Amino acid sequence: MFSIHFAHCGKNHVLPAGGLHLAPPPTGYRDTPAADLLALLAEIEAGRPWREAVHERYATARPWLHRIITDPGRTRFLDVVRPPEGGLALDIGAGWGQTCRPLAAHRPVVALEPVAERLAFIRAAARQDGTGGNLSCLGADYCEVRFETRFSLICAIGVLEWVGAFQDHADPQQRQRDFLHKIRTELAPGGALVLGIENRIGLKYLLGCPDDHIGVPHIACLPAALARRRWRESSGQTLQSFTYSLHELDRMLRDAGFTHVEFFAAYPDYKLPEHIVSLSEEGRPHNTWLQHTQRLRWPPP
């Protein structure tokens, strides 16, 4: 058994194995209305297998969301990156539990998710999968929690780009830097961060695909200062979501205190990867893989 010691809102707390602590912030990322997810949750709590309930509700009506929730490829990169085995893991921004639930089959995991109904889904699905006792759930903003417990693995998949987006931060990029530094301090010696994020200058964005976060093309792929200005001119709003190139992200990670940084390319996308390729050795493994790949599919089927 394990327990998690942390401080939140000026109070110290202990989260037991399989436990729940809810203190969600007022806003957070949602890809489905709360009422819809609560209706789905009611079916699962009544005993319906969660995969069956998700399939009926989303497979036809929202096929992309259905794949995001159920596709086993969501965790394919963990097979390639090979994080440290055993030890406590933290999944920041756990979403529908695509990462924390499979991890909980092999190690103790804390699922941190600011949206309460998503956390309820994770708990219900984990109970059906038989891993509920290995999965503790914390409903909070990671930046507002101070962990005393240290983690051998921290996952932040599709999170860094949103860190400054849901509250009015004077400098969302500084909040991203603070986020990475905080992760570094809460890793155990020898621990690892697995980070998944879009490439600011990824080919699809340079060719004019709308950015995944602001929904329009030709802005988020620009350098940050120019992107801020263009977004202000076009929308009248402050840009709160930022992605980075490989070199920019490498610098941010090293500034946060990470000394060993490895990059991998995900094809066709890190959300539903079919291939994970190392970018080490100045990209030679990646270039070799490209030379022997006949066809890349985008978007995924």
Q: pLDDT per residue over 169-228, tens digit each?
A: 789 999 999 999 999 999 999 999 999 999 999 989 999 999 989 999 999 999 999 999
Distance between CA atoms of residues 114 and 91, nearest Å: 12
Q: How confident is the model at residue 299 (pLDDT cuts 50, 70, 90)?
A: low
Cβ contacts of 20 within 8 Å, gap of 6 or more:
119, 123, 136, 137, 138, 139
Q: Does pLDDT of 61 surpass 70? A: yes
Q: Are 104 and 17 in contact (CB under 8 A)?
A: no
The pair of structure tokens assigned to 175 is 């909040």
Distance between CA atoms of residues 291 and 203, nearest Å: 17
pLDDT of residue 296: 58
Q: How confident is the model at residue 66 (pLDDT cuts 50, 70, 90)?
A: very high
The pair of structure tokens assigned to 99 is 């990462």
pLDDT digit string, tens, across residues 251-296: 999 999 999 999 999 988 888 998 899 999 888 988 888 888 766 5
DSSP label at 201? T
Of 80, 24, 74, nearest to 286 (Cα)?
A: 80
pLDDT of residue 298: 52
pLDDT of residue 169: 73
The pair of structure tokens assigned to 83 is 């994080």
pLDDT of residue 295: 60
Q: How confident is the model at residue 29 (pLDDT cuts 50, 70, 90)?
A: confident
Q: How confident is the model at residue 300 (pLDDT cuts 50, 70, 90)?
A: low
Q: How confident is the model at residue 297 (pLDDT cuts 50, 70, 90)?
A: low
pLDDT of residue 257: 98
Residue position matching structure tokens 């200058």: 201
Q: Which CATH number fits domain 3-197+244-291: 3.40.50.150, 3.40.50.970, 3.30.930.10, 3.40.50.1100?
A: 3.40.50.150
Secondary structure (3-state) at 84: coil
What is the residue-averaged pLDDT of the chain? 93
Cβ contacts of 119 within 8 Å, gap of 6 or more:
20, 22, 24, 94, 111, 113, 137, 139
Q: How confident is the model at residue 47 (pLDDT cuts 50, 70, 90)?
A: very high
Distance between CA atoms of residues 23 and 211, nearest Å: 31
Distance between CA atoms of residues 219 and 230, nearest Å: 6
Distance between CA atoms of residues 1 and 97, nearest Å: 21
Quickly count: other Cβ atoms within 10 Å of residue 10's Cβ: 5
Percent of the chain residues topping a pLDDT of 90: 77
pLDDT of residue 38: 97
pLDDT higher at 77 or 37: 37
Distance between CA atoms of residues 95 and 42, nearest Å: 18
pLDDT of residue 192: 94
Positions of CATH 3.40.50.150 in the chain: 3-197+244-291
- Helices 34-45 and 50-58: angle between axes, nearest 10 degrees: 140
Strands 187-196 and 109-112 turn out to be unpaired
How much is the average pLDDT of 63-67?
Answer: 96
Partners of residue 111 on adjacent β-strands: 91, 137
pLDDT digit string, tens, across residues 107-148: 999 999 999 999 999 999 999 999 999 999 999 999 999 999
Q: How confident is the model at residue 39 (pLDDT cuts 50, 70, 90)?
A: very high
Percent of the chain residues topping a pLDDT of 70: 97
The pair of structure tokens assigned to 276 is 């994970």
